[in-house]
Amino acid sequence: MIDIKLIREEKERVKENIKKKFQEEKLGLVDEVYDLDVKFREAKAKADNLRSDKNKKSGEIGLLMRDKKLEEVEVIKKEVAGMNEEINKLEELEEKLNKEIREKMMLIPQMIDDSVPIGKDDSENVEVERFGEPVVPDYEIPYHADIILKLKGMDKDAAGRTSGEGFYYLTGDIARLHEAMLAYARDYMIDKGFTYAIPPFMIHGNVVEGVMSFPEMQAMMYKIEGEDLYLIGTSEHSMIGKFKDQILKTSELPITMTSYSPCFRKEGGSHGLEERGLYRVHQFEKQEMIVICEPEDSMKWYNKMWRYSVEIFRNFNIPVRQLECCSGDLADLKVKSCDIEAWSPRQQKYFEVCSCSTLGDAQARRLGIRAKGDKGTYYVHTLNNTVVATPRGLIALIENNYNEDGSVTIPEVLRPYMGGKEKIEVK
């Protein structure tokens, strides 16, 4: 949610931002909010003036009572009663207008950074940099599900019986490798000074509305029937929600945290579920990082955060690239975002494994997260980034460390988490 001052003072700039995101259907919202805000401020000013007049009149009553001018007291009391009635009507109007303004403001996208490339959708995202040489070995790399099945590491048939399509069992050394990746990612972030957390895996609806747009929520979130609770799609949701309605001391900033959670997503629509494999599923696990910082520091943290992901995947022997998300691919709350994509030697192309975003003060405004210091009270900036998400990260690791004999070499950094084992071999 943007600052309403932008609509009051730079209405055309807000409209230009909407055009850059190819959401022309939302242009009318800017004028609607502008007009509602004028009415809101008029009602507020009138109510404030009436309160001031009422206080003066109320002060006169005491003096008149002292002088025993009872008839004049009764006249003023009637005037004050009329003022109270008018004030109540104006307060009701203020509340109604404020609600309408907020509902429309929630639909207006955040102002994007000037460096964001302009494009309609993810097909126009821009590759910025590659890390590691993408290699295609001179032997065939099977589909990841087939590799894992030969290693006795997965059972989707059983998961279909217990839970349906989009779920899976991981077993044996593959399950252990999956957890090793998460444990390494956790320890890596702790070594970078981030505080480790395990958050709630369900959150209230007002937290969901605070961290993401309504279309995103509808597409992603599972709601608990009969309760105001949603299963999280990423721990960013509950980690940012942790600071809802809080006023932080500037001395506490930046707040840097890394969190583990299972994640639950509908994965409906055009993407659909992956019938055999693990690329697109309803449930997965993730190590996340979030930062809450001073507004002037958010871009510095943004560039630090995505580089952490690059380093982790390079430590897994996985070539990656950074892809800058174009304007049309940015969710409404995002100021700037990039994907880290891992090389798939089987498909001979890159695929997304991490996403890093700065949301400016959008989430902070929705959730009421502020800081207080020498420059007064103001909204903080929030950022998030995937450290490692499995099983998607697991797919990249298996493909890039697959050997011709069907075994998978365990990256050196993960061996301490695997009891010193160097390979997972076909039994």
Query: Residue for token digits 């290693």?
Result: 151
> Of 77, 105, 133, which one is at a domain's C-terminal end?
105
Q: pLDDT digit string (tens) for 203-253?
A: 999 999 999 887 777 788 999 999 999 999 999 999 999 999 999 999 999
> Of 49, 72, 105, which one is at a domain's C-terminal end?
105
> What pLDDT sits at residue 270?
47
Whether residue 114 is contained in a domain is answered as: no
* Strand, helix or coil for residue 31: helix
> What pLDDT sits at residue 29?
97
Query: Residue for token digits 């929030």?
Result: 382
Q: Are residues 89 and 131 in the same domain?
A: no
What are 131's strand-pairing partners? 320
Q: At residue 55, what is the residue type?
A: N
> What pLDDT sits at residue 190?
98
Q: Are residues 276 and 142 in the same domain?
A: yes
> What pLDDT sits at residue 70?
72
Judge contact between 102 and 86, C-beta under 8 A. Answer: no
| Tokens of residue 131, six digits | 């890390």
| Burial zone of 376 (CB within 10 Å; 0-12 exposed, 13-18 middle, 19+ buried) | exposed
Q: Are residues 127 and 90 in the same domain?
A: no
Q: Are residues 83 and 153 in the same domain?
A: no
Q: Are residues 131 and 61 in the same domain?
A: no
Q: Are residues 76 and 152 in the same domain?
A: no
Q: Are residues 70 and 138 in the same domain?
A: no
Q: Which residues of the chain have pLDDT under 50?
A: 270
Domain count, the chain: 2
What is the SS3 string spanning 159-212?
HHHHCCCCCCEECHHHHHHHHHHHHHHHHHHHHCCCEEECCCCEECHHHHHHHC
Q: Are residues 350 and 401 in the same domain?
A: yes
- What is the β-pairing status of strands 169-170 and 154-155? antiparallel
Whether residue 41 is contained in a domain is answered as: yes
Q: Are residues 196 and 227 in the same domain?
A: yes
Q: Which domain holds residue 341?
A: 122-424
CA atoms of 219 and 202, how far apart (whole Å): 17
Whether residue 179 is contained in a domain is answered as: yes
- What is the β-pairing status of strands 336-344 and 320-324? antiparallel
CA atoms of 180 and 177, how far apart (whole Å): 5
> Of 60, 76, 105, which one is at a domain's C-terminal end?
105
CA distances from 264 to 210, 242, 283, 342 (A): 18, 19, 5, 22
CA atoms of 404 and 400, how far apart (whole Å): 12
pTM for this one?
0.90
Whether residue 116 is contained in a domain is answered as: no
Q: Are residues 316 and 390 in the same domain?
A: yes
Say which DSSP state 329 is in.
G
* Strand, helix or coil for residue 91: helix
* DSSP conformation letters of 123-139: GG-EEEEEES-----SS
Q: Are residues 54 and 92 in the same domain?
A: yes
Q: Is the dihedral of CA 214, 299, 289, 248 positive or negative?
A: negative
CA atoms of 110 and 363, how far apart (whole Å): 10
Q: Are residues 99 and 150 in the same domain?
A: no
Whether residue 110 is contained in a domain is answered as: no
CATH number of the domain that 100 lies in?
1.10.287.40
* DSSP conformation letters of 205-271: HHHHHHHS-HHHHHHHPEEPTTSS-EE-SSHHHHHHHTTTT-EEEGGGPSEEEEEEEEEE----TTT
Whether residue 112 is contained in a domain is answered as: no
Sequence-ordered list of residues with C-beta below 8 angstroms from that of 13, at least 6 positions apart, any chain: 6, 111
CATH number of the domain that 248 lies in?
3.30.930.10
Whether residue 73 is contained in a domain is answered as: yes
> What pLDDT sits at residue 158?
95
Query: Residue for token digits 């295609």?
Result: 136
